[in-house]
Structure 1
């Protein structure tokens, strides 16, 4: 089996104070950090043991910033050298030092990076991206599509190499006019998938079949957005629950969820880069119609 595992431990602290994030500038206590470190260690040992002989991919999706913690950096390096791990990735703001990436296998390590204007300078963020390129580390770059950040997004798109995908997440609570959507789509040809929720009730999803969400205690759910547990990683009870089934939620509005909705075909769009949010093949000319733009347009007009 090829299994994608989204892991989220107790860590909830972040060094940024983005106004749209509930974990801004939150600090974990020493006890909470020890708990997170122990939980991550247990998870890593399970992946190393690979009791079912699967091909695994791992995406760390911490509530806070993981790369400021040594145990996440060590876990990424260690897992990147395992032959049965196809990809290991983490969502990060790239605020920490990146020299450690030189110790990882660049064929397996990838970073899902987010640029937050006002929290770091553009030059500093671009320097971090250049470091990743120097070490051969696959990475995507993303921003939240706030109106006040559009000009910065255009500048960032121009500053990044053409082969680096810059994704835009629709801002929570913001309704985009047709003109606004077109402007953001000129930056990210796949913005059409993010701009509004996707109807999911009754539709089959790879989540719970070939992708799972794992908590620090080993509790396994189909995805981060469905509370029902389907078993536990460490007693193998999750294994028999891996099967195709329809989603019970009315809608799905987060990329790590709707990327698995079978009807959207995004496993093909992101083939080989689902964990790190990198589309397959070279991106289309930014701002010009291309196959991914047409896919996004189809998603906008499809029944929801």
Structure 2
């Protein structure tokens, strides 16, 4: 398989339940009914089967559940299995890191990775860092992030000081918050890539990898260009997704989410993240400091 055969797949099933109660999240403390959980498990197992059988592409998979996936055994099982498939370059998941991590000992640490978010007020820094140390011991790649609200700044500073320098700490600009020049400077001191997040990107008419070498997949197999453009371009399970892949310009005016704008071609962020694209780890990290 050549580099041109790479396909980034962002999967989001119906799961929407979470064990946290973050005030900035619409899915906080949501409880999914048993029938939805059964459906989510069935959908995920079908998706894993598709990945297993689709050997003509090199696949990289990011699970982006609305809720917390790692509290569910089927997400843990999926990550372990996919990490051992020879045509899967990366499998990662967005997580609050509340669940146990020992199951990752069965995964291939060269392939499995985590995109972890620290949520002040929901977990202590000490407990979160204990999970990070477990990942370090397992040799699993991970990034850590914080939503850049003013009330989170001191916690973010403490987290950066406590994490190993090799771990990338990213800051997401908070929805609806307008940053002063001083605030932007302070957050950028923690995350040199904060400028990518602090203002929405004008995307209308801009060329994008989404729909060409990156796709968004729903639990029923509906394939979209990305999570933020609802029009389907095919279905995973009837094969129509293949004919739907082609270069496209973005049809949205703005793109303000990392999992979207990271694929905008003019930003060249694929070069920034390279093999760490899905788990949000820059290829060159820590950055060299020039005195």
What is the TM-score of this pair, normalised by structure 1? 0.93
> Structure 1: which 4+ aligned runs deviate by more than 2 Å?
none
Which whole-Å CA distance do the structure 1 matches of 2:98 and 2:156 have between them?
18
Alignment partner of 2:67 out of 64, 68, 72: 64
- For residues 71-110 of structure 1, the aligned pairs below 5 Å read 71-110=74-113
Which whole-Å CA distance do the structure 2 matches of 1:289 and 1:94 have between them?
34
Q: SS where residue 227 of structure 1 aligns?
A: strand
Q: Is the 8 A contact 2:168 2:285 kept in 1?
A: no
Q: Pick closer, same or farther for the CA change 1:183–1:289 going to 2, 3 Å.
A: farther
Provide the aligned C-alpha RMSD in A. 1.0
Q: SS where residue 228 of structure 1 aligns?
A: strand
What is the TM-score of this pair, normalised by structure 2? 0.97
Q: Which residue of 2 aligns with 1:30?
A: 34
Which whole-Å CA distance do the structure 2 matches of 1:142 and 1:95 have between them?
14
Q: Is the 8 A contact 2:202 2:255 kept in 1?
A: yes
Show CA shifts across 1:228-255 (max 9, x none). 0000000010111111110000010000
Which whole-Å CA distance do the structure 1 matches of 2:287 and 2:46 have between them?
41
Q: SS where residue 190 of structure 2 aligns?
A: coil
Q: Which residue of 1 aligns with 2:54?
A: 50
Which whole-Å CA distance do the structure 2 matches of 1:198 and 1:236 have between them?
32
Show CA shifts across 1:136-195 (max 9, x none). 100000000000111111110010000100000000000000010000000000000000
- For residues 87-236 of structure 1, the aligned pairs below 5 Å read 87-236=90-239
Q: Report whether the alignment pairs 1:244 with 2:247.
A: yes
Alignment gaps of 5+ in structure 1: 291-304
Which whole-Å CA distance do the structure 2 matches of 1:217 and 1:183 have between them?
43
Tell me the matched-pair count.
287
- Residue 80 of structure 1 and its aligned partner are, at CA, apart by 0.3
Q: SS where residue 229 of structure 2 aligns?
A: coil
Q: Which residue of 2 aligns with 1:276?
A: 279
- Residue 281 of structure 1 and its aligned partner are, at CA, apart by 2.0
Q: Is the 8 A contact 2:272 2:283 kept in 1?
A: yes
Q: Which residue of 1 aligns with 2:22?
A: 18
- Residue 283 of structure 1 and its aligned partner are, at CA, apart by 2.2
Q: Is the 8 A contact 2:157 2:190 kept in 1?
A: yes
- Residue 12 of structure 1 and its aligned partner are, at CA, apart by 0.3
- Residue 289 of structure 1 and its aligned partner are, at CA, apart by 7.1
